[in-house]
Chain A
Amino acid sequence: MYAEILEESISPKGRNELIRAISKGIVEPDERALRIAFSCLLCRRDEFSCSAQLKNADVTESFRRYLLERGVPMLPEHDLLAKNLANYGNPWGESKSARKRWAKDFLTKRFVNGKTGTLFYVGCTFSLDRTLQESPRALASIMQKANEDFGLLLDDELCCGSTAKRIGAAALFDKVRKLNSEKIRATGTKRIVTACSGCFKTLKQDYGGLLNGIEILHSTEYIALMIEQGRLKLDELPKKVTYHDPCHLGRHAGVYDAPRWILSSIPRLKLIEMRNSREKSRCCGGGAGVKTAYPSISQKVAVKRIEEADKTGADMLVTTCPFCMQTLKSAAQESGSKIEVIELSVLIDRISHPKGGRK
């Protein structure tokens, strides 16, 4: 975000200085301090080029929590998200039953506790944003093709709590993760697959052991496994594609290879890396409450990423996170880019068929 605004107070250095000044009582915590705390995408990109090895994302997240605990009122934009989560069980204020709207072809796949094998955890954004619902349908379809014994929680699914954690609502996050982990534990599943990078990072890294013993796979890891095991066959796709690493999947969770391996497994597909990829990948601008609090800056960040993707000459920009999809699609539209922004599961569903069969 600093690169867009060029005010040093919102740079990692500025935030760290502010944290120090507040902790020493030099500066009083106030709304401006909270705005500065929220002027960070928590993308960790700076950390991979930081020779001082600062952990800016973790520090900033703690700073948000600290300011709220010190009594600074939550930003109105975030207050709405937190209230939605408390009242509706998702940050987007949709009803419980709306959660299964995407799944009208998969209503028979309701998870049977103690019987079904793999839990497909969809997450709030993929299941509730109508523009993204193709993704969960594609992943469910892929699981069917791979003859996976999987089930869905449908309208019983709870939020993972990622949004609460990123906006500093610590008590709410604790409550949500407790409820969600109890719900998941009650299914008796030994394996969760999710296509949402935010849910993946949160379930895997932020649950403090509540889901220990359950394997948590991102959809890219799962699909790669299915291809490797020969349970999924891919048709050729004579296209040039580039891949955008979602921050929660890449820098936070270290999953860089699986999506690339999948793409390189597609016959006749050419994968071209952007100038900044893997650890150096630019953020899409959609993370950490920034899109809600600073939509225009979020959009600028996304447009920069689209420009990088365009420079590769690729036909398609593939990614695998609902927030990346939202911001990059909108930025491609705004900047007049011709590149097709597509979620990896959707792409794979289009060109895959079960072992021994044709699509």
Chain B
Amino acid sequence: MESGVLEAVKKSLISCLGETKVLWKKPDIVLYRKDTYRIKFDEDYKYLPDLVVLPETTAEVQEIVKVAAERRIPLIPKGGGSSRTGMLVPIHGGILVDTIKMNRVIEVSVPNLYVTVQPGVTLKELEEHLSEHNLALNQEQGSLRMATVGGSISTSGFSRKHQKYGTIADRVMSLEVVLADGRILRTGPKVLYTSTGYRLHQLFVGAEGTLGIITEATLRVEPLPEAKDAIVAFYKGFWEANEAAQRIMSSGVTFTGGEAYEGHDMSSYGAPPGLNGLFYVGFEGIKGEVEAEVEFVKKIVADTGGVLATHENASRFMGMYSEQWCGARTRTKSEDVLTTYVPMERMVEFYDILWNKIGKKYGISPLPGEKYGLDVGRYRIVAGRFFLPKGEGAYEKYQSALREIAELATGMGGSVSSCHGVGIQHKESIKLEYSEIALETMRAIKRTLDPDNIMNPGKKIDA
């Protein structure tokens, strides 16, 4: 932003928000240059926002948008900052709108089972708040301690409890959004089902801030369950654990969610030597129901040769879910993760090509214990964490590998990114997933809602 314009915009924003909610000094804004996306190694400090604002109310967001719209300045809405695909990178500079101070729970409706919140409340804070009303949102994504409601909706995030409660996409009942011209859109009444208007709220699920800034969300919640349980079982390897996973998915038994993967040193959870495959399933409901489901799944584990972990070890394992999220990433320093959605019958083939062809060709290798993974249930994420290539041309190799993985997944009828969004990482690759008519329809929606392309420009889809 040209310095004269920057000063004028800064002055306008300060007059709307007050000085403490507008940041421009370099020590304050340097961290807003990226999310957890692996930006090109030598461009780590290339993209800085010109200004960062910290609104607390819808009215303040409206003022910010009006200031930006007047001069066609890019706006980058931000939640917890856990995005993995670069959707928060200010590639065109502009104003980064950090919603982290918009963290109020506005209404908890016990009879109607919904909660209305500002977008900056984290999933963890919200669950804690709801538990005081004996309610739960049931959105357990790995980043739940830092991910906000607004960010989760905008990314269409995953939940470990997807099988029983769906993901955030299934929880959204109504949204308030500040549009690119500063008008406030209410997408509809606070109801889960209606057959009247277009489902506008779903338009903003996974929109990555490209269509407007979510300032309020009403979400469906559920009563806390009477009983909870979990089964953790050890197998020789992933493919043996996968056998149990496939049987459960085709059995019709109810469970909250589960995962099969090839673990790494599971001995601390009581795994017998040599058994590195792991399979877990969670259950919630009324007591008798949970007991019956647990017994049913135990039989499947026995029939597929699994060794059950003790109840204590299973509880401990379930408790460390969010612990591994950012820790593993920071300790390994140079890794990325796949969240591809692949048809079940093509999973063996997918992994074979991934590690034996693409992996070898570009020098990407799985992290220990992260070679194979499957989210069990209707949300069939085939995942794996991998070390980035090293040496000369490493970044280009990394990008080429991502491209070939995208071609592989979409060629099988799957999806490039089932829960991490597109950002800048998969922007080219989503063209593999959608027809030109579908893409043009998306572009038309973008142009209608954001004709000047100021809402997170350069992300997800070209205007």
Interface residues of A (CB under 8 A from B): 6-9, 13-14, 17-18, 21, 24, 26-28, 30, 32-33, 36, 50-54
Contacts and interface: CB of A to CB of B under 8 A. Distances in A.
Given A9-B23, A51-B325, A18 B30 contact: yes
A30 B45 contact: no
Nearest to B21: A7
Contact of A9 (B27, B322, B324): B27
A14 B100 CA distance: 14
B327 interface: yes
25 contacts: A6-B54, A6-B101, A6-B103, A8-B31, A9-B23, A9-B27, A9-B29, A14-B31, A18-B31, A21-B26, A21-B27, A27-B26, A27-B30, A30-B27, A32-B25, A32-B28, A36-B27, A36-B28, A51-B325, A52-B326, A52-B327, A52-B331, A53-B330, A53-B331, A54-B330
B323 A6 contact: no
Residue of B23, B25, B81, B98 most packed against chain A (CB within 10 A): B25
B32 interface: yes
Given A8-B100, A17-B31, A51-B325, A28 B54 contact: no
Please name the 8 residue pairs, one residue from A and one from B, whose CB atoms are nearest each other, closest first: A51-B327, A52-B330, A17-B31, A9-B28, A33-B27, A51-B323, A21-B30, A52-B327
Contact of A26 (B30, B98, B323, B330): B30
Nearest to B100: A6
Contacts of A50: 327
Nearest to A34: B27
A26 B27 CA distance: 10
B246 to A, nearest CB: 31
B160 to A, nearest CB: 16
B54 A7 contact: yes
A7 B331 contact: no
Given A26-B45, A52-B330, 8 more contacts: A6-B54, A7-B100, A21-B27, A33-B27, A36-B27, A51-B323, A52-B327, A53-B327
B145 to A, nearest CB: 8
A24 B326 contact: no
A21 B44 CA distance: 10
Contacts of B324: 51
Contacts of A51: 322-328, 330
Nearest to A15: B31
A230 B252 CA distance: 65
Contacts of B327: 50-53
B31 A7 contact: no
Nearest to B31: A17
Contact of B45 (A24, A32, A52): A24
Contacts of B31: 8-9, 13-14, 17-18
B54 A32 contact: no
Contact of B30 (A7, A17, A53, A54): A17
Interface residues of B, number: 26
B57 to A, nearest CB: 14
A32 B27 contact: yes
Interface centre among B25, B31, B98, B325 (most CB of A within 10 A): B31
B28 A7 contact: yes
A174 B171 CA distance: 58
A58 to B, nearest CB: 16
Interface in B324-360: 324-331
Contacts of B26: 21, 26-28
A21 B101 contact: no
A8 B98 contact: yes
A250 B59 CA distance: 44
A214 B331 CA distance: 38
B122 to A, nearest CB: 11
B60 to A, nearest CB: 14
Which residue, of A7, A8, A52, A53, has the highest number of chain B Cβ atoms within 10 A? A8
A293 to B, nearest CB: 16
Contacts of A18: 27, 30-31
Contacts of A33: 27
Nearest to A50: B327
Contact of B23 (A7, A27, A28): A7
Nearest to A36: B27
Contacts of A52: 326-327, 329-331
Most buried by A among B26, B54, B98, B325: B26
A21 B27 CA distance: 8
Interface string B70-93: 000000000001000000000000
Interface in B291-347: 322-331
B401 to A, nearest CB: 25
A8 B103 contact: no
A26 B330 CA distance: 22
Contacts of B81: 8, 13
Nearest to A35: B27
Contacts of A9: 23, 27-29, 31
A8 B45 contact: no
A61 B451 CA distance: 49
Contacts of B323: 51
Nearest to A17: B31
A30 B328 CA distance: 33
Contacts of B23: 7, 9
Contacts of B29: 9
A54 B331 CA distance: 9
A7 B99 CA distance: 10
B45 A21 contact: yes
A205 B28 CA distance: 33
A282 B372 CA distance: 39
Nearest to A2: B100
Contacts of A24: 45
Contacts of A32: 25, 27-28
A162 B331 CA distance: 31
B27 A8 contact: no
Contacts of A53: 327, 330-331
A18 to B, nearest CB: 5
B296 to A, nearest CB: 33
Nearest to A24: B45
Contact of A27 (B27, B100, B322, B326): B27
Interface in B22-65: 23, 25-32, 45, 54
A50 B54 CA distance: 25
Interface-centre pick from B23, B27, B103, B329 (highest chain A CB count, 10 A): B27
A230 to B, nearest CB: 39
A251 B54 CA distance: 32
Interface in B2-28: 23, 25-28
Contacts of A17: 30-31
B290 to A, nearest CB: 27
A53 B326 CA distance: 10
A24 B46 CA distance: 13
Contacts of B25: 32
A51 B323 CA distance: 5
B175 to A, nearest CB: 22
B335 to A, nearest CB: 13
B131 to A, nearest CB: 12
Nearest to B330: A52
Report which residue of B28, B29, B327, B331 has the largest number of chain A beta carbons within 10 angstroms of its beta carbon.
B28
A6 B325 CA distance: 22
Contacts of B98: 8
A6 B125 CA distance: 14
A20 to B, nearest CB: 9
